[in-house]
Every structure is written in structure tokens, then in C-alpha cells.
Amino acid sequence: MAEETDQKTWKKRTKRYFRRSLALLIFLSFLLFVRIFLFQVYSIQGNSMYPTLSNGSIVFVWKGGFALSAKLFGTEWLYTEPKIAKLDLVLFYDQAGDLVVKRVIGLPNEYYSIEAGRVVIDSQMLIENYIPLGSQTLEPTNSLLFPLKNSPFLAMNKQGRIPPGYYLLLGDNREYSTDSRAFGLVPIEKIKGKVIFYF
């Protein structure tokens, strides 16, 4: 009788352990899914986005629809068309392979130019209240990281039309930002997410 009771107790404990382990596995799988496909928390390094973001700022990035990391598949994989609007803050891999945040200034098929220290998009001067007072947007140099063989980035000129699938990304702290003016127009597959909240 005692042996039968011990067996029932052991079976109950085993079932309870199995249920808890399964619940934990499902929860961890959910967290991994969210981390890979949907959401990321990122700490800003440097002041290229000042005054919007400064060194140590924390940003919450929405990754839904954006290209998955090359570390997972050996190459970037864009599994849907992400929604990117002008002036969005986006997280992307630059020419050096570093994750950085910049602002979307030009969208695919728009015509850009830099005139007298200001950005002009489709013949309209961009109103940029987010850049430091008195800042000027210098012309592209493309001298820092070009030329790199087989680079997916496109060299940016003083003016031109942004090709489909590419974005013009600039830092808010214009005079101290390494951005599209240096490494070129950014292909969509390098953009990993959109900033939805920061502090």
C-alpha cells in the first residue's frame, strides 16, 4: 500500500515537473521570438544624435518587418516590407558593421540636395527643429569608409535621386555625425528596426 502511494506521489511530481518545464520552455521560446523578430532595447554610444539622444540614452526598437540579422542566416533576410517614414529614427548596421541610430531624411525615389548648409528634399527645404541651433549640414565627403569592395551602400553626392530600396540617414548633431554623407545611402536590408520610445 505504501509502495503504491509512493508511486502515485512520484507520478504526480513528475507530471508537475514536466508541466512546469514545458511552461518555462514556451515562455523562453516566446522571449527569444520577441527578441529576434519584434523588439530590442539598445544603449546609445556617442553624441551623433544630440540633442534628441545622447551618450547612454536607451532606445526601444521595433523590429517587426525589418531584415533579420546576418548572424542568424549568413545574410540579411527581409521577410516583409517595413514601414519607414521621413524623420523616423532607425537602427541599422553601418559600413563598419556597428549598430547605430540615425534619422531618416530622404526616402526612396526622393530627390535630395544640400544647399547653403541645409537639406532640400524634392525642392522643399527641410524644417529641422531637432538639430542643434546654428548647426549646418555639410556636403558629403565619402572619404571615411569608401571605397569598400562589394559595399551595399551607395555613395552620396551633393545632390541626386535616392534609388528604390535606399534611404538617406543623417545624425541630428550634423557637424559631429558620421552618416550617409560619409558611408553613403543605406540599403533597406541594413536597417534593423525603428525607434518607438527613448529616454
Phi-psi sector, 175: left (phi>0), alpha (psi -120 to 50), beta: alpha
Per-residue pLDDT of the chain in tens (199 residues, 90 and over written 9): 556 676 778 778 888 888 888 888 887 776 776 666 678 899 999 999 999 999 999 999 998 878 765 455 555 555 567 889 999 999 999 988 899 999 999 999 999 999 999 999 999 999 999 999 999 999 997 554 545 667 889 999 999 999 999 999 999 999 999 999 999 999 998 999 999 999 9
Measured in whole angstroms, the distance separating CA 94 from the mean position of its chain's CA atoms is 10
Q: Which position among 48, 57, 177, 180 bears the catalytic label?
A: 48
| pTM for the structure as a whole | 0.80
Q: Specify whether 143 is catalytic.
A: no
Q: Specify whether 149 is catalytic.
A: no
For the chain, strand residue ranges (E) read: 39-43, 58-62, 89-93, 99-106, 111-115, 118-121, 124-125, 159-161, 166-170, 186-187, 191-198
Domain boundaries, the chain: 1-38, 44-198
Q: Which position among 63, 102, 190, 192 bears the catalytic label?
A: 102
Architecture of domain 44-198: Ribbon (2.10)
**The predicted structure's pLDDT at residue 87:** 97
